[in-house]
Amino acid sequence: MAMNPGSKPVLQHSTATAGGMAEAHPAPPSGLLRWLLTTNHKEIGSLYLIFSLVMFFIGGIFAMVVRAELFQPGLQLVQPEFFNQMTTMHGLIMVFAAVMPAFTGLANWMIPLQIGAPDMALPRLNNFSFWLLPVAFTLLLSTLFMPGGGPNFGWTFYAPLSTTYGPPSTTFFILSLHIAGISSILGAINIIATILNMRAPGMRMMDMPLFVWTWLITSFLLIAVMPVLAGVITMMLMDINFGTSFFDAAGGGDPVLFQHLFWFFGHPEVYIMILPAFGIVSAIIPTFARKRLFGYASMVYATAAIAILSFLVWAHHMFVVGLPLVAELFFMYCTMLIAVPTGVKVFNWITTLFRGSISFEPPMLFALAFVVLFTIGGFSGLMLAIAPADFQYHDTYFVVAHFHYVLVPGAVFAIMAGVYYWLPKWTGHYPNERLAQWHFWLSVVGVNLTFFPMHFAGLAGMPRRIPDYALQFADFNLVSSLGAFLFGASQLLFVAVVVLCVRGGRRAPAQAWDYAEDLEWSVPSPAPLHTFDTPPTFERPAH
């Protein structure tokens, strides 16, 4: 979404703070080739963001199909087979093609700027990791048109539903997930290499902005669990095509093993989608509260603690598979323990706000909504962590409500907050205030109308992933569907704001927000194509 500063193809060099003379950069090729071959972190960041926005809409259309079918009881619009493909594809696209690439895009744009590096450590690898994504997801989307249809087994693709009983296109699904996984892994290596080796002279680890810290920890998580995902889908591939029996009880395998392996990846994966959000919110709240962030060090340690604990809780997704009592207790207590570092974070944000001189620009609105609504998602997560209670909640709409609260007003709102916050740096213009306010309020109302009633439907026993439901759930589903249409439509406003902001608008100075103090605000707005050719000298803010 962020248009590259090179739409005015003038070779600028970073000025002022970057200081000094830098060597000239060769002129980029023109037209499409420029985007295909670019190794510039800002252009690749923009590509990631545009890609994820497109995928956000494609995954959103799938969600609209689901909500339209659930608008009233009975089967009206689609067949159950197609409904299953829609829920599955919605989940896969939103997780792997919308949320994850959006955070990677923000990382590409902002991490070099925030640590005073001229680019990512491995620019050509960076180009490769991006271009793997369109390949992966074109392949994934094309399965919808194959005989037998696309994946229809839920985004968690439990075996043997996805192996013995999966559609013939499952092999393509596996291939596309492999490619997307390689892309994330390469992106993670690049980010770690950049952060560890390319910080401005004088910037210690504990001086880094929290967005950089959270992304560093996220990258470690990616390196730890993406290979496990790759392993699981490789085993699936072998079960389907080469006659092995990893997950097939007939040949001595065990379907429950699939769930253990999948959730060993899957739980850290949900933190991969939320830790960078914590970083963004930790940048925005101090800026618009005009106070320093309360408890910087505790934020870093809390993030690390969440990451470590995320490896010890996977079986909370499996309380009903028949775990022994000891295991139920272990995973229940470990899961509840995660509320402690997460609570530290929420406490720090609120304390930062306390007696702050707060103003409500669009980034701040989204960040504040994040804190409130993500916390609701956290609380329902705590409820689900209670093993005996989970026996009732398991596989109901309560779970759907929970993870949508942490992912939509959680991760997605944080991404939008980040986009509104950094748009002035990317484009040199402030986003249109009125439209952005409309976008925010419609989104907040839409999100809560969509997902709050799902708590009640779930507690009353409505199962997830079913195209039809009993009559007593009709009202809840009607409200959810109306909310979803509202939320979906209001995202068009978001596109309008971004496009208008690229085209023009009130001009933004280098320091676009008064109290923003990280390094990115020391380069001009819009940020020139090449910044920090000469490393800046990092000065610790005196407080």
Partner 1 sequence: MTSSDPHRDNRAGVRRTVWRSVAALAGMFAFAFALVPLYDVFCQVTGLNGKVNNSAQAVMHDGVDESRLVTVQFITRSGSGLPWQLEVETRQMRVHPGQPTEVSFTFDNQGDEESWGRAVPSVSPSQASQHLRKISCFCFDEQRLEAGERRDIPLVFQLSRDLPPDVKTVTLVYTLYPVEARNAPQQASAVTLEGEQS
**Which residues contribute to the site for Cu ion (CB under 5 A)?**
267
Q: Minimum distance from CB of 220 to Cu ion (Å)?
A: 18
Nearest to 525 by CA among 542, 505, 496: 505
Q: Minimum distance from CB of 84 to partner 1 (Å)?
A: 9
Q: Minimum distance from CB of 331 to Cu ion (Å)?
A: 9
Q: Between 418 and 536, whose beta carbon lies closer to partner 1? A: 536
The catalytic residue among 13, 42, 199, 345 is 345
Regarding 165 and contact with partner 1 (CB under 8 A), the answer is yes
271 is catalytic: yes
Regarding 201 and contact with partner 1 (CB under 8 A), the answer is yes
Residues 331, 333, 339, 344, CA torsion sign: negative
Token pair belonging to 245: 């029996």
> Which residue's CB atom is positioned nearest to Cu ion?
267
* Contacted entry of Cu ion, partner 1, none for residue 199, CB cut-off 5 to 8 Å set by kind: partner 1
What angle is formed at CA 327 by the lines to CA 325 and CA 328, rounded to 5 degrees?
A: 65
464 is catalytic: yes
Question: What span, in angstroms and rounded, lies between the C-alpha atoms of 118 and 533?
Answer: 5
User: How many Cβ atoms are within 10 Å of 344's Cβ, its own excluded?
Assistant: 18
162 is catalytic: no
* Contacted entry of partner 1, Cu ion, none for residue 63, CB cut-off 5 to 8 Å set by kind: none
Restricting to residues 169-188, name those near partner 1 by CB under 8 A. 185, 188
The catalytic residue among 183, 335, 450, 490 is 183
Applying CB under 8 A, which of residues 26, 31, 324, 388 lies at the interface with partner 1? 324
41 is catalytic: no
Stretch that binds partner 1, among 115-123, 387-395, 404-412, 468-476 (CB under 8 A): 115-123
Applying CB under 8 A, which of residues 67, 90, 199, 317 lies at the interface with partner 1? 199
Applying CB under 8 A, which of residues 81, 468, 475, 539 lies at the interface with partner 1? 81
User: How many Cβ atoms are within 10 Å of 325's Cβ, its own excluded?
Assistant: 8
- Cβ-in-10-Å burial (0-12, 13-18, 19+) of 464 comes to middle
* Contacted entry of partner 1, Cu ion, none for residue 472, CB cut-off 5 to 8 Å set by kind: none
Regarding 145 and contact with partner 1 (CB under 8 A), the answer is yes
Question: What span, in angstroms and rounded, lies between the C-alpha atoms of 35 and 42?
Answer: 11
Regarding 202 and contact with partner 1 (CB under 8 A), the answer is yes
Q: Between 225 and 275, whose beta carbon lies closer to partner 1? A: 225
Regarding 254 and contact with partner 1 (CB under 8 A), the answer is yes
DSSP string for 338-402: THHHHHHHHHHHHHHHTT------HHHHHHHHHHHHHHHHHHHHHHHHSHHHHHHHTTBHHHHHH
Nearest to 99 by CA among 265, 342, 271: 271
DSSP string for 280-336: HHHHHHHHHHTSPPTTHHHHHHHHHHHHHHGGG-GGGG-GGG---HHHHHHHHHHHH
What amino acid positions are annotated as catalytic residues? 90, 119, 155, 183-184, 267, 269, 271, 282, 316-317, 342, 345, 464
